[in-house]
Amino acid sequence: MNHRQFTSQLLKWFETNGRNLPWRKTRDPYKIWVSEMMLQQTQVDRVIDYYQRFFQKFPDIKTLAKARWPQVLSAWRGLGYYRRARNMLRAAKVIVQQYKGIFPEKVEDLEALPGIGPYTARAIAVFAYEQDVLVLDTNTSRVLSRVFGITGKNLLKEVAEHAADFVPKKKSWAFHQAMMDFGSAVCTAKDPTCLICPMRPLCSYSTLSRTDFKTLQIGSRARHLGRSTSPLARGAPGIRPRRHPYPISFETRSRTPSIEIAAAIIHKNGNILITRRPEGKHLEGYWEFPGGKRQGKESWRDCIKREIKEELGIEVAVRPHDWTADYTYEDRQVHIRFHRCSILKGKPKSQEAQQMKWIKPQELTQYTFPPANKEVIAKLVKARFVDPQA
Q: What angle do CA 350, 353, 354 make, to 5 degrees?
A: 75
- Could you confirm whether 111 is annotated as catalytic? no
Catalytic residue among 15, 36, 251, 330: 36
- Please tell me the distance from the alpha carbon of residue 306 to that of residue 324, in angstroms, as a whole number: 20
Establish how many alpha carbons lie within 13 A of residue 188's alpha carbon, considering only the half-sphere containing its beta carbon: 9
Q: Which of 231, 229, 228 is nearest to 220 (CA)?
A: 228
DSSP state of 195: G
DSSP H helices, the chain, are: 3-17, 29-39, 44-57, 61-66, 69-76, 83-99, 107-111, 118-127, 138-148, 155-162, 172-185, 204-207, 210-217, 221-225, 231-234, 300-312, 374-382
233: exposed, middle or buried (C-beta count within 10 Å: 0-12, 13-18, 19+)? Answer: buried
Amino acid at 65: A
- Please tell me the distance from the alpha carbon of residue 112 to that of residue 58, in angstroms, as a whole number: 23
- Please tell me the distance from the alpha carbon of residue 383 to that of residue 379, in angstroms, as a whole number: 6
Q: Which of 313, 261, 315 is nearest to 289 (CA)?
A: 261
Dihedral Cα 202, 205, 206, 208, nearest 10 deg: 100
Amino acid at 15: E
Catalytic annotation, residues: 36
